[in-house]
Amino acid sequence: MKEKKSLNLLAPFESFVDKFKVPLSILVGAFLIAVPFLGASRVAMRNLVMIFLYAMLGMGLNVLLGYVGQVSLGHAGFYAIGAYTSAILTTTYGWSFWTGAIAGACVAALIGFLLGLPTLRLSGTYLTIVTLGFGEIVLMVLRQWESVTNGNYGIRSIPVPELFGWELTLSNGGFYWLILFLSTVTAIACYTIKNSNAGRTLIAIKEDELAATMMGIKTTRYKILAFVVSAFITGLAGAYYSVINNGYIEPNNFVFNYSIQILSVVIVGGMGTIRGMYFGSALLMMFPQVFRFLNQWRFVIYGLLLVLMMQFRPQGALGWQSTLPYKLPRRAKKALAEREKAKTVQ
């Protein structure tokens, strides 16, 4: 009884959103773009920047976790690779941020490919373990390869991005618009992937890998694809991170805890959803700020919340099943229409 009622309320909400999606997104978009002009303080801007950054990181992991169901505990490694590649290219070789960022993302994707090649034929849990080890090894390399990464001294004076001579900073809103742009592009890309042929294949693998194999899907190939896309997004986010950290990065910014934090964003927000990434990120980024008064109890409570969340809402805060009718892909629609036509002709 209760369940039914809830569906009744969710459905109109979703169909409302669906019906007015163009004006709604214009409205929300305009508001988001206008935020820096609305007199938001520097703290608020910083918080928003971190929220969007982690939403983007969440989306990156989501491609792997939410779509293919593979758990990674080493995304801080890709994050680091993106950040360091971009930072080294911009400081030592004088590249611009834009090319450096793309290069960072590509290197992360390449490493993802090389790592995924041998390991993705392993089953889920083993992949988790390998990624965990991968994160630790990346850290080791960052600390040891001093001639390139500058070891524990970190890389400093990473230049801020410039757009036609305009320097992007936190106070002029540049950082905010940049991450807004990056996360929006990522969201659109993720949405496109999810609703593409490849995306449906990925979800098929997640739901039942054996069945997917039986259907003739080359599961390893698709898993690697997802892994590479995930690494690319994370690397891009890393490149962005390297400039917002006051131009200074060091290996400690990419330790295991960050992998867990990225994972938490996806889990808390709702695996497989894009809205959930924004929400999960907002929740987790604001948690330490808002609960500052708890002092040392903060992380005890944080742990408790994770446990309770898993007990009572394991699908994540916004992880509901869509109530909208399933939209057939264009190709399928076309095929159906043709068949209909053929029938009527007969």
Give the three-class secondary structure for 121.
Answer: coil
110 vs 189, beta carbon nearer another protein: 110
Closest among 205, 198, 11, 204 to 121, alpha carbons compared: 205
- Candidate segments 55-63, 80-88, 98-106, 308-316, binder of another protein by CB under 8 A: 308-316
| Least distance from another protein to the Cβ atom of residue 9, Å | 4
Distance CA(59)–CA(233), nearest Å, equals 8
What is the biggest distance separating any 2 CA atoms in the chain, rounded to whole angstroms?
Answer: 77
Query: Is there binding between residue 80 and another protein (CB under 8 A)?
Result: no
- By CB under 8 A, the residues from 255 to 294 that bind another protein are 256, 260, 263-264, 267, 271, 279, 282-283, 286-290, 292
Query: Is there binding between residue 331 and another protein (CB under 8 A)?
Result: no
**Alpha-carbon separation of residue 68 from 138, 224, 321 (angstroms):** 24, 10, 17
103 vs 276, beta carbon nearer another protein: 276
Residue choice 153, 166, 181, 191 for contact with another protein (CB under 8 A): 153
Closest among 263, 232, 258, 277 to 76, alpha carbons compared: 258
- 222 with 68: CB under 8 angstroms? yes
29 vs 303, beta carbon nearer another protein: 303
Query: Is there binding between residue 29 and another protein (CB under 8 A)?
Result: no
Q: Is 79 exposed, middle or buried (0-12, 13-18, 19+ CB in 10 A)?
A: buried
| Residue with token string 């807004």 | 180
Query: Is there binding between residue 5 and another protein (CB under 8 A)?
Result: yes
304 vs 337, beta carbon nearer another protein: 304
What tokens does 112 get? 């993802």
Number of C-beta neighbours around residue 138 at 10 A: 21
Number of residues that bind another protein (CB under 8 A): 92
- By CB under 8 A, the residues from 102 to 131 that bind another protein are 118-119, 121-126, 128-130
User: Residue 37 carries which DSSP code?
Assistant: G
- Candidate segments 85-93, 94-102, 189-197, 303-311, binder of another protein by CB under 8 A: 303-311
Query: Is there binding between residue 15 and another protein (CB under 8 A)?
Result: no
Q: Is 302 exposed, middle or buried (0-12, 13-18, 19+ CB in 10 A)?
A: middle
- Candidate segments 20-28, 135-143, 179-187, 335-343, binder of another protein by CB under 8 A: 135-143
Query: Is there binding between residue 332 and another protein (CB under 8 A)?
Result: no
| Least distance from another protein to the Cβ atom of residue 26, Å | 20
| Least distance from another protein to the Cβ atom of residue 295, Å | 6
156 vs 200, beta carbon nearer another protein: 156
| Least distance from another protein to the Cβ atom of residue 236, Å | 18
What tokens does 73 get? 């505990």
Closest among 160, 29, 42, 23 to 98, alpha carbons compared: 160
- By CB under 8 A, the residues from 181 to 240 that bind another protein are none
